[in-house]
Structure 1
Amino acid sequence: MTNFQEIVNTQLSILESYFPDLSEKQKAQFTALYALYADWNSKINVISRKDIDNLYLHHVLHSLGIVKMIKFKEGSSVMDLGTGGGFPGIPLAIFFPEVQFHLVDSIGKKIKVGQAVAEGIGLTNVTFRHCRGEEEKQVFDFVVSRAVMPLSDLVKIVRKNIRREQTNALPNGLICLKGGELQHEILPFRKQAISIDLKDYFKEEFFETKKTVYVPL
């Protein structure tokens, strides 16, 4: 295995090359993620064990693919449904310190990891809940999700969670990180959905088939 610090430095430099305006505090928080996730992953498998060395590329940078669709306004509220160990919610909460994030997952031990990581890096703009999406009744400006379930199923679950009052450049709705062939999934929403190819923003091979999809609700 490559030297721990080498992995962090190499991957962080990729992150900073795409987001050069990160503050020193944000850089420190992103830097701290590797040790925290590596430690928790040895106890509770939240990221594929062979993938932990690609934490920044496959998980952090991928989560920030949502930034290419929207820059959330200060004071916005966002729910991350099916967050797992905290993706995309934790990287987004670091990136948008003035936005409130609520991370939800039906698996308790994954929520426990997310909470510990958020605490470990001093994130104060995140809350967590161990429940199924159907049980969460609060309303938000946006719901984000990463490859949790088909788009139509997600829309059914989260429609109730979307606030009516609009404050962002995009109307409130659902923003998903997806991979592979999506035509069939997007078909029911083709008239209103917006899809962007992350390969247009991130040059690494991992992003070749990755997309960010937005559906106004």
Structure 2
Amino acid sequence: MIIGNEDQARAWVSAFPGVSRETMTALEALVAYVTEEARHQNLVSAATLGSMWQRHIADSAQLLRFAEPKPGEHWIDLGSGAGFPGLVVALIAPCRVTLVESRGLRIAYLNRAIDLFGLSDRVDVAGMALDKLPAIEADYISARAFAPLPRLLEGAGRFSTEKTRWLLPKGRNARTELESIAPSWQKLFHVEQSLTDADAAILVGTGRVAQPESRKAARRQTRRAYRSK
């Protein structure tokens, strides 16, 4: 089933395990908050403001089909921007969430959202570039429209363990991006269909992304993978 409109998106999210009436109220408030804040900064594409539930809320919540975060577990969301999927995950799941965002206006916006929704006990903003973030072990890593897959894995691999679950929405280019990375990384991932866009997919993986001895070595592996296609 592809979620095709706002009513379907609301219905799908409301039926998702763990989503209570209070959670739906909070998600409605998030939609209103993003819509208002979008008047002052470019948080999301203007073309999606009329389809926030389909394009952003359900699109974020669907990642939880492949994850069951528990209290005490740590979810890192890279390039959080408007808080998708990070804030949606935080409102639905009981885990700790770190929102990684380097842009000043977005950092301030995310901190206000954390206060607004009373999430400060388990959600924080890492207001810095990814390469400045101290190495921390993540149970889950998500990244939506953050970076090309090779660069994303090079930068975020140090946060992964053998048990880390990767959740990476990649649009219609998911398979192409997966084929472009080193074979040792490819075997960790598989492709899942997005429920919000028939042309989009999600890269879902489990495991530690082992870093080659140098970034140059990683790039050489990636180039070899690309040439062998």
Contact map agreement 1:86 1:111 (CA 8 A) in 2:
no
Q: 2:47: which partner in 1?
A: 50
Q: Which has the larger radius of gyration?
A: 2
Match of 2:33 in 1: 36
Root mean square deviation of aligned Cα: 2.2
**CA apart distance, 1:92:** 0.4
- Give the 3 Å change call, closer, same or farther, for CA 94–131 of structure 1 in structure 2: same
Write the distance in 2 (CA, Å) between the matches of 1:106 and 1:86.
13
Using the size of structure 2 for normalisation, the TM-score is 0.78
How far apart in 1 are the matches of 2:9 and 2:91? 17
Superposed displacement of residue 42, structure 1? 0.6
Residue 153 (str. 1) matches residue 151 (str. 2)? yes
Residue pairs, 1:59-74, within 5 angstroms: 59-74=56-71
Q: What whole-Å deviation, never above 9, does each CA across 1:103-129 have from its counterpart, x for those lacking one?
A: 011211112222222322222321002
| One-letter amino acid matched to 2:106 | K
Contact kept in structure 2, 1:37 and 1:117, CA below 8 Å: no
Report percent identity of matched pairs.
Answer: 20
Q: CA deviation at 1:173?
A: 4.2
Unaligned ranges ≥5, structure 1: 1-6
Look up the equivalent residue of 2:115 and give its one-letter code: E
Return the match for 1:100 from 96, 99, 102: 96
Paired residue total = 197
Instruction: Please give the residue correspondences for 1:18-29 in structure 2 after superposition, counting only pairs within 5 Å.
Output: 19=16, 21-29=18-26
Is residue 174 from structure 1 mapped to residue 170 from structure 2 by the alignment? no
1:1-217 pair list within 5 angstroms:
12-17=10-15, 19=16, 21-96=18-93, 98-124=94-120, 125-139=122-136, 140-162=138-160, 164=161, 171-187=163-179, 188=181, 189-198=185-194, 202=195, 206-215=196-205, 216-217=207-208
SS in 2 for 1:207: coil
Structure 2 unaligned runs (5+)?
209-229
C-alpha offsets along residues 182-209 of structure 1, whole Å, 9 cap, x if unaligned?
22311233322122112xxx3xxx4212
Q: C-alpha distance in 2, partners of 1:181/1:20? A: 29
Moved over 4 A (4+): 7-11
